[in-house]
Amino acid sequence: MKLELGKIKISDVQFGAETKVENGTLFVNKQKIIDLVLEDERLIKADVELARPGESVRIAPVKDVIEPRVKVSGDGGIFPGILDKVKTVGSGRTHALVGATVITCGKIVGFQEGLIDMSGPTAKYTPFSQTNNVCVVIEGRADLDTHAYEEAGRMAGLKVAKYVGEAGRNVEPDEIVTYETKPLLDQIKEYPDLPKIGYVHMLQSQGLLHDTYYYGVDAKVMLPTFMYPTEIMDGAIVSGNCVAPCDKVTTFHHFNNPVIEDLYKRHGKDLNFIGVILTNENVWLMDKERSSDMTAKLCRHLGLDGVIVTEEGYGNPDTDLMMNCKKVSREGVNVVLITDEFPGRDGKSQSVADTVEEADAVVSCGNGNIIEYFPPMDKIIGTLDYIETMIGGYEGSLKEDGSIEAEIQIIIASTIANGYNKLAAQGF
């Protein structure tokens, strides 16, 4: 499967009479976005705010972050099975507005969401302090249960991202990158002397608002499967979860998975990137056993020499991570794990909730329990009402002057366990 990704570089975002890209600036029509969001009767209020790098702006609570993309040619459309018909994506040409995002935020009561600072000492922990953000602030009806509210917020973000992405359809990209993964036997024949490497991509699927969607299917009801990496770049996976902000894999991160990007960069040089094994993170022991058994079976069936495994979340999912590590290793496949750590504020507790002796190659994305000072900002997009109940916040976190003291796990993507961050941990 071959995908051309056209990267249209966005250096600024402004409101305009029409939604378009012109000389590196993304113009968006505010009222059209509001009208699009309010087509969903579950939402009673909507607004659009802009947030640019370096501004004194705090965004909270954040539901999802999405990079606007548009399918220019090839099968299917962006977000198949959700906004477009179910059709296998990952081939043809797609344009991405690189440097721009759509962020959903606002009164998302009861969800474990976090914040983004566009400037100040904590801006360095999130990639979205460096992007030009179209912030969609929503409020749902008071009688909605949390699952309906989550769905309404998720769909609002996806619809706006698709609408904004259309602005790049007829724009000549600044860069075109081609990604290709061939059918298994062809792929192996092409580089017979290179080690065959796969990626085990664990999706958050614990339920109770901890959900991810694969072609519109809730990941907790799926079995491990093989997919082409380019499918992920075309919107086959979207976030619908409300997990700890620091390692929340937003839809943006599915589009821009750094493990996939790095494996492609080395493909044909020192490794043969075979593809992605998609699996889930479960609550019940028998489901964990089933999925890890099948993941190991797929690794053996594909004849892999090595795999990289990433998780989303921490605590309960650490068991899924270790089960995958143990069983895949016992199939004779080398395993490298990527995760983040939560050893407590004093650093003296066990960094992950579970471990196995086979976990002898682990990459750390940092310690989420570190406490930081968040200075007051001139502008708040959304609300600070829930700071003290967010993961990473606590009673007394929010000060009268608008400043915050909290663990960095309150920041969106600060220690994200697929490596899209700037933190690591060093052992002594």
Residues annotated catalytic, as ranges: 242
Rounded Cα gap, residues 259 and 253, in angstroms: 10
Please name the amino acid found at residue 83: L
229: part of which helix (H) or strand (E)? helix 229-233
Question: Quick count: other Cβ atoms within 10 Å of Cβ 422?
Answer: 13
Rounded Cα gap, residues 264 and 268, in angstroms: 8
**Exposed (0-12), middle (13-18) or buried (19+): which is 428, by Cβ within 10 Å?**
exposed
Structure-token pair, residue 12 = 């600024």
Tokens 């003290």 belong to residue: 388
Residues contacting 31, CB < 8 A, separation 6+:
none
Could you report how far apart the first and last alpha carbons of the chain are, in Å?
44
Tokens 């802009």 belong to residue: 50
Please say whether the beta carbons of 114 and 122 come within 8 A. no
The beta-strand segments (E) located in 81-236 are 92-98, 100-107, 114-117, 132-140, 175-180, 196-204, 212-214, 217-218, 225-227
**Cα separations (Å) of 205 from 73, 80, 288?**
31, 19, 11
Rounded Cα gap, residues 69 and 240, in angstroms: 18
Closest among 58, 61, 77 to 69, alpha carbons compared? 77
Tokens 């081939």 belong to residue: 91
Residues contacting 38, CB < 8 A, separation 6+:
46
Question: b/e map of 61-80 (b: 16 or more CB within 10 Å)?
Answer: bbbbbbbbbbbbebebbbbb
Bridging pattern class, strands 20-22 and 2-9: unpaired
Tokens 């609300």 belong to residue: 383
Rounded Cα gap, residues 255 and 237, in angstroms: 8
Structure-token pair, residue 426 = 């060093």
Question: Quick count: other Cβ atoms within 10 Å of Cβ 35?
Answer: 11
